[in-house]
């Protein structure tokens, strides 16, 4: 089967979060099963772009409204990621350093989507599936179904995967000109609550919709930033498929970011060497448990309550643990976390920014990983941490609920609490300190976690079955009645 993934992110080309990790791994494992999975994404100005060789495979010209532009499709020459990687270059719009965060993101991703469809429309054949990811590519199912110019593509099955429904890309109806001329009777397929909503449109128009965990799908019927009724209405075509992790990249025995590798047999020594590096670099006390947080410093991740939870823990539990935070996001949260450094007694530090290498060292060297998320569609951090023998401390929500079992339960291995609330987090930290003092139990839990299987194997198979169910069967041609 030929599967075209269209995405704003793909690791290691450009990544802002879990979406990048998933799109960088899923196609590789689909190819390993004998399919032809390809990725198409915007050509940002990234290191990956500069450090690799590219072929130009197509040049086209199209428009969003009155704005006509040339686009170029380039392809990475060596297939080094395990799949064909195509980048869409649109001068001035996509060739920037960051993935998101520009005032004209709406126009950028509209132009990207139109270019992708325009390119596919000149292929001599049709792919078996177009698989789009999140709102940045959510208009594609509508474009191929209802834009006159691309009518010949309307029978290509489309799948939308929702990695995060908080962000929907909504725009006013005054931006409808960004789409190629479309059948205006179908305006309802773009609209949600009076605006053009690319994520809602994707949910309405894609043949199938998946979310990145089963629990997240259930939760979205209750709370999904305004889309609750739509998820309820479209429940028949929605399913939850848990993300896997790329076990080639995330393996403590071979991780290219680590100097001290370890396996389940050598975890104690391996982790303590990485912990020492962290403690030396960030002035932390190696004898105390090291609790880390890695992620976007936003409300979704519960980052806004981290400063209070950390100070409360020091106050109520005592200075019995270290904290190390890696992340960036809301400036006020960054400022509060940085301000806490003044109170540190070799037991707290923060690195504000994005640092892939440091994140790997933290998964390897930490004892516990804190995830007090309010919303967590799947969450990859907890799976990485378990593979590196680091106990996840998670709020019971979304994919965290589906992947972490509290160590108090039979065969459990994590610390799970119910609410993204300061009291719950502090209590979780108290349990972590307690658990850390029991070396035997810690070793047993580490061993158990590291042997869990979070690979892509079963999820990839579920995606393939989903695509196979969609394969277009040609409508029988009505035969004329015998005379």
Q: Please, is 23 exposed, middle or buried when counting C-beta atoms within 10 Å of its C-beta (0-12, 13-18, 19+)? A: buried
How many binding residues for ligand ADP (CB under 6 A)?
Answer: 19
Sole window of 73-81, 92-100, 375-383, 444-452 interacting with ligand ADP (rule: CB under 6 A):
375-383
Contacts of 412 by beta carbon, 8 Å cutoff, 6+ apart: 405, 406
Q: CA-CA distance, 160 to 180, in Å (whole number)?
A: 20
C-beta of 54 vs 257, nearer to ligand ADP: 257
| Binding flag, residue 248, ligand ADP (CB under 6 A) | no
Cβ-closest position to ligand ADP: 18
Task: List the interface residues with ligand ADP, window 415-434 (CB under 6 A).
Answer: none
Residue of the chain from 4, 10, 14, 21 that contacts ligand ADP (CB under 6 A) = 21
Inter-residue long-range contacts of 184-190, CB under 8 Å, 24+ positions, other chains counted: 186/142, 186/145, 186/146, 189/142, 189/145, 189/146, 190/139, 190/142
From the CB of residue 66, how many other CB atoms can be counted at a distance below 10 Å?
A: 6
The 8-class DSSP code of residue 254 comes to T
From first CA to last CA, the distance across the chain in angstroms is 42
Nearer to ligand ADP, 99 or 111 (CB): 99
Task: For strands 191-192 and 195-196, give the pairing.
Answer: antiparallel
**Counting contacts by CB under 6 A, is residue 356 touching ligand ADP?**
yes
Is-contact 333 307, C-beta < 8 A? yes
x/- site string to ligand ADP, residues 74 to 103, per CB under 6 A? ------------------------------
Question: Is the distance from CB of 313 to CB of 390 less than 8 angstroms?
Answer: no
Judged by beta carbon, residue 170 or residue 326, the one nearer ligand ADP is 326
Nearer to ligand ADP, 17 or 447 (CB): 17
Instruction: Quote the least distance from Cβ 378 to ligand ADP, whole Å.
Output: 6
Altogether, the residues listed in the chain come to a count of 483
Among 211, 213, 359, 390, binds ligand ADP (CB under 6 A): 359
Site for ligand ADP contains 326 (CB under 6 A): yes
Region near ligand ADP per CB under 6 A, out of 18-26, 42-50, 277-285, 418-426: 18-26
CA distance 145 to 130: 12
When the beta carbons of 37 and 294 are compared against ligand ADP, the nearer one is: 294
Q: Which of 381, 385, 397, 426 binds ligand ADP (CB under 6 A)?
A: 381
Q: Which is nearer to ligand ADP, 24 or 270 (CB)?
A: 24
Binding flag, residue 327, ligand ADP (CB under 6 A): yes
CA distances from 278 to 72, 146, 152, 361 (A): 44, 54, 56, 8
Q: Does 134 bind ligand ADP (CB under 6 A)?
A: no
Residue 294 engages ligand ADP in binding (rule: CB under 6 A): yes
Q: Could you say whether residue 225 binds ligand ADP (CB under 6 A)?
A: no
Angstrom distance (rounded) from CA 258 to CA 223 = 39
Q: What are phi and psi of 368, to 5 degrees?
A: -140, 150
Task: Kindly tell me which of 128 and 246 has the beta carbon lying closer to ligand ADP.
Answer: 246
Beta bridge partner(s), residue 417: 395
Is 17 a residue that touches ligand ADP (CB under 6 A)? yes
Q: Name residues contacting ligand ADP, limited to 147-166 (CB under 6 A).
A: 164
Check binding of 289 to ligand ADP (CB under 6 A). Answer: no
Determine which residue in the list 355, 412, 421, 452 makes contact with ligand ADP, applying CB under 6 A. 355
Q: Residue 110: CB partners within 8 Å, gap ≥ 6?
A: 64, 139, 175, 178, 179
Instruction: Name the residues that contact ligand ADP, by CB under 6 A.
Output: 17-19, 21, 164, 294-296, 326-328, 354-356, 359, 378-381
């Amino acid at each position: 089967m030929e599967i075209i993934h269209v995405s704003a992110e793909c690791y290691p080309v450009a990544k802002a979060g879990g979406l990048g990790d998933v799109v960088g791994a899923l196609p590789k494992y689909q190819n390993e099963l004998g399919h032809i999975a390809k990725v198409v994404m915007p050509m940002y100005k990234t290191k990956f772009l500069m450090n690799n060789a590219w072929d130009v495979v197509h040049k086209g010209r199209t428009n969003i409204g009155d704005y006509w532009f040339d686009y170029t499709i380039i392809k990475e020459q060596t297939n080094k990621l395990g799949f064909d990687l195509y980048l869409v270059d649109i001068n001035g719009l996509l060739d920037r350093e960051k993935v998101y965060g520009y005032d004209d993101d709406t126009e950028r991703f509209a132009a990207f989507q139109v270019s992708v469809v325009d390119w596919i429309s000149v292929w001599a054949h049709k792919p078996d599936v177009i698989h789009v990811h999140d709102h940045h590519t959510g208009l594609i199912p509508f474009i191929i179904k209802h834009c006159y110019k691309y009518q010949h593509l309307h029978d290509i099955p489309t799948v939308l995967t929702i990695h995060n429904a908080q962000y929907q890309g909504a725009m006013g109806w005054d931006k409808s000109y960004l789409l190629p001329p479309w059948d205006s009777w179908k305006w309802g397929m773009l609209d949600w609550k009076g605006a053009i909503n690319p994520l809602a449109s994707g949910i309405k128009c894609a043949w199938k919709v998946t979310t990145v965990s089963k629990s997240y799908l259930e939760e979205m019927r209750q709370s999904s930033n305004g889309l609750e009724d739509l998820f309820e209405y479209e429940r028949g075509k929605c399913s939850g498929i848990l993300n896997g992790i790329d076990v080639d990249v995330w393996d403590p025995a071979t991780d290219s970011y680590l100097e001290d590798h370890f396996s389940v047999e050598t975890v104690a020594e391996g982790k303590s060497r990485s912990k020492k590096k962290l403690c030396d670099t960030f002035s932390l006390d190696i004898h105390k448990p090291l609790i880390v947080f890695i992620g976007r410093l936003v409300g979704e991740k519960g980052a806004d309550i981290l400063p209070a939870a950390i100070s409360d823990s020091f106050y109520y539990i005592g200075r019995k643990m270290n904290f190390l935070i890696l992340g960036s996001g809301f400036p006020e949260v960054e400022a509060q976390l940085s301000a806490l450094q003044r109170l540190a007694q070799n037991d707290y530090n923060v690195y504000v920014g994005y640092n892939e290498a440091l994140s790997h060292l933290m998964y390897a060297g930490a004892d516990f990983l804190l995830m007090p998320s309010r919303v967590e569609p799947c969450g990859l951090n907890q799976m990485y941490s378990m593979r590196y023998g680091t106990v996840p401390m998670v709020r019971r929500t979304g994919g965290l609920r589906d992947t972490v079992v509290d160590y108090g339960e039979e065969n459990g291995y994590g610390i799970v609490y119910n609410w993204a609330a300061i009291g719950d987090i502090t209590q979780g930290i108290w349990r972590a300190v307690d658990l850390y003092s029991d070396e035997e139990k810690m070793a047993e839990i580490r061993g158990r976690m590291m042997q869990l299987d979070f690979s892509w194997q079963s999820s990839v198979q579920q995606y393939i079955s989903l695509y196979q169910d969609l394969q277009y069967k040609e409508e029988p041609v009505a035969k004329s009645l015998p005379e």
